[in-house]
């Protein structure tokens, strides 16, 4: 069953490989004096607080590309998401017909491979799913990964430093929930205080090994009357350095004022399709 699932995922451009971990190194930084650090933390916290008022949903067209040593390709479609954890991706064939669906509510997922006539489903804690979603990526925060934001959790900030290329500030932090028990997960976030957006988000274990490395760019202009720090990224790039794989999502044609309910993230299995439980 696992091999069949892997083949189906590759046939749909390996959507779950989106969050494959890598071996990137921690970012180089330049020190700031105490006052500069205080000011940087204050600007960051102000921006994160402002994002609490941003829209809870996104709806956009997407072009998803994968480049690796073993597979390369592109698939276009639509991505929809709702805070905190609902995500739906619809992949289209060249004729504009749905060829795959991936939906999750942060606990359960369903992947429908239309050409195969099969639907794979199970918990995100299933071994087959976790193989492609390493510990650094929490499905319970799926919306915020796509939106280029941090989840609205209590943050512990350990350090702040300057990016040596002048792109902003690097903050080393953790969600309080991450740091409260078990092996701590440290997050290294590159924050552009001028644009009030996150440009890069890395998650590392206690040994410093990078598990997730996500880059954000091409932020859409603020909507009329909207806040700058509510803008959505037009480009998301995920690097998996252990195998040279790069996953890229190009988003555009945003639906303004998108709004969804939990029911919008349910996709029924078409009549005659086979259900394949994932464990």
| Digitized pLDDT (tens) for each residue of the chain, 279 residues in all | 444 444 444 444 444 444 444 456 788 999 999 999 999 999 999 999 999 899 999 999 999 998 876 778 899 999 999 999 999 999 999 999 999 999 999 999 999 999 999 999 999 888 777 666 656 778 899 999 999 999 999 999 999 999 999 999 999 999 877 654 556 689 999 999 999 999 999 988 878 888 889 999 999 987 766 667 789 999 999 876 455 578 899 999 998 888 999 999 999 999 999 999 998
Max alpha carbon distance in the chain (Å)? Answer: 65
pLDDT of amino acid 67? 81
Rounded Cα gap, residues 200 and 186, in angstroms: 14
pLDDT of amino acid 195? 92
pLDDT of amino acid 2? 43
pLDDT of amino acid 226? 63
DSSP 81: E
Beta bridge partners of 153: none
What's the CA dihedral at 107, 197, 62, 112 to 10 degrees?
-10
Q: What is the pTM of this model?
A: 0.88
Encoded tokens for 99: 């060829």
Give backbone dihedrals phi and psi of 74, rounded to 5 degrees, phi first. Answer: -140, 145
Sign of the C-alpha dihedral, residues 146, 152, 154, 155? positive
| Extended beta strands in the chain, E state | 57-67, 72-82, 86-92, 98-104, 108-113, 118-123, 155-162, 169-175, 186-192, 197-204, 210-219, 233-240, 245-252, 274-277
DSSP alpha helices (H): ranges in the chain? 2-11, 34-50, 127-130, 142-147, 176-179
Encoded tokens for 77: 């479609």
CA-nearest of 143, 202, 140, 195 to 170 is 202
DSSP 232: P
pLDDT of amino acid 5? 44
Rounded Cα gap, residues 37 and 155, in angstroms: 16
């Amino acid at each position: 069953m696992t091999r069949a699932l892997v083949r189906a995922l590759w046939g749909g451009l390996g959507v779950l490989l989106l969050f494959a971990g890598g071996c990137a190194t921690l970012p180089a930084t330049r020190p700031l004096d105490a006052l500069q650090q205080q000011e940087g933390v204050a600007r960051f916290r102000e921006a994160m607080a402002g994002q609490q008022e941003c829209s809870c949903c996104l709806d956009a067209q997407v072009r998803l590309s994968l480049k690796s040593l073993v597979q390369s390709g592109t698939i276009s479609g639509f991505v929809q998401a709702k805070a905190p954890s609902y995500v739906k991706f619809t992949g289209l064939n060249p004729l504009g017909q749905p060829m795959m669906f991936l939906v999750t509510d942060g606990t359960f997922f369903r992947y429908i491979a239309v050409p195969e006539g099969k639907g794979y489903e199970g918990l995100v804690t299933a071994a087959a799913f976790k193989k492609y979603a390493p510990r650094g990526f929490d499905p319970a925060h799926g919306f915020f990964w796509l939106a280029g934001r941090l989840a609205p959790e209590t943050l512990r900030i350990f350090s702040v430093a300057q990016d040596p290329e002048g792109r902003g500030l690097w903050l080393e932090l953790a969600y309080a929930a991450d740091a409260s028990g078990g092996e701590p997960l440290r997050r290294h976030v590159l924050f552009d205080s001028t644009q009030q957006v996150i440009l890069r988000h890395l998650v590392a274990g206690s040994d410093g090994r990078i598990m997730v490395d996500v880059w954000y760019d091409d932020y859409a202009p603020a909507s009329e009357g909207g806040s700058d720090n509510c803008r959505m990224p037009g480009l998301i790039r995920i690097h998996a350095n252990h195998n040279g794989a790069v996953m890229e999502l190009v988003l555009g044609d945003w639906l303004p004022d998108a709004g969804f309910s939990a029911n919008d993230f349910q996709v029924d299995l078409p009549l005659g399709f086979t259900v394949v439980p994932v464990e």
